[in-house]
Structure 1
Amino acid sequence: MQTRLDEILFMETKIKNGREGTIMALIKCPECGKEISDKAENCIHCGYPIASLGKEKYATDQYTVILESPGVNKVKIIKIVREITGIDLKAAKEAVESVPYIITDKVSLEDATAVKNKFDGEGAIVSIVSSDNKNIKIATTESNQIRCPRCGSTQITTGQRGFSFWTGFIGANKTVNRCAKCGHSWQPR
């Protein structure tokens, strides 16, 4: 009986946040769904900015997903827009070409995050905003990953240009990006 009481006291002191009487609450990260402290500035698992959301995040329970840029794979993005919205091919093509476009409106945060993750996988830039106040951005995609300009793949290797039979060593020390999927080579900017 004494060991069970010791375990409970140990758990209470483990959860306390250093000050007498304040207890840390665990909340779920809106991005990855794992439990984190409510006092954390960023999610320790995925880096999602919890503190920058402010209290406005919890004021609404309906969100809007906005397509800001389709990226390189427009055909795949059109397919995803058709799948989510149920519109025909011509309307989906016009929607993707005339960004920003509201994909879904007045959905839960979990549904909005699921839609955003579908678009993130294909390289599109998508934002989640509050349905009540469009100025409050909940999440946005930061596109800082190198992609192939031809096929949109992220399997990029960087190396030297190499020796050529015709030009010899001229330009052999220049850096070149190569796509592992389609074989396209280009110079980084």
Structure 2
Amino acid sequence: MLQTARNGGSITPRYTKIIKHHASQNRASIHPYTKIKAHEYNPDTQTWSLTTDPPIPDLPEIDYIYFATGARADVREMPLLRQMNEQYPIDVKGGFPCLTNDLAWRDDVPLFVTGRMAALRLGPGAPNLEGARVGAERVAWGMEEVLGKGREVGGQCEGFCGLGNRYASLLGECD
């Protein structure tokens, strides 16, 4: 469902229009489902020579390359999270972890996850800038729970929520 909602990619409508305009002017080309098998950079001409799969006939020298890889990520296969999965297992759906509402690994494990791996909570925009913004807000809520709410000073939250002196919550902790 997430892949269908993203329509196969994450290029915003605004940039899709820009790219298609450049392609119509022969200033850019779009090659979905194409892999670069070999590449060579020429420092004299500042261009790239590419070998692709499938082959692109009459491919000229390339000035710029933008990779939209669409890399598949499965939390069960990520070496970084192997030990976490073993010691603190959680449900996984389609490779995505079933996080808490605050994007924590589990209620008893203060490991917070954002981006593509938070897609089950944030929706198809999770890997994009809007997903990053919403994810950061949710992680901040979770961090406030983990670290304590901070001190109320003059009706404002001072400390972790980002208002007031962000170091004030450290006062008295190291005495």
For normalisation by structure 2, the TM-score amounts to 0.25
Q: If you compute each CA radius of gyration, which structure gives the higher value, 1 or 2?
A: 1
- Larger RCO, structures 1/2 (Cα 8 Å, 6+ apart): 1
For normalisation by structure 1, the TM-score amounts to 0.24
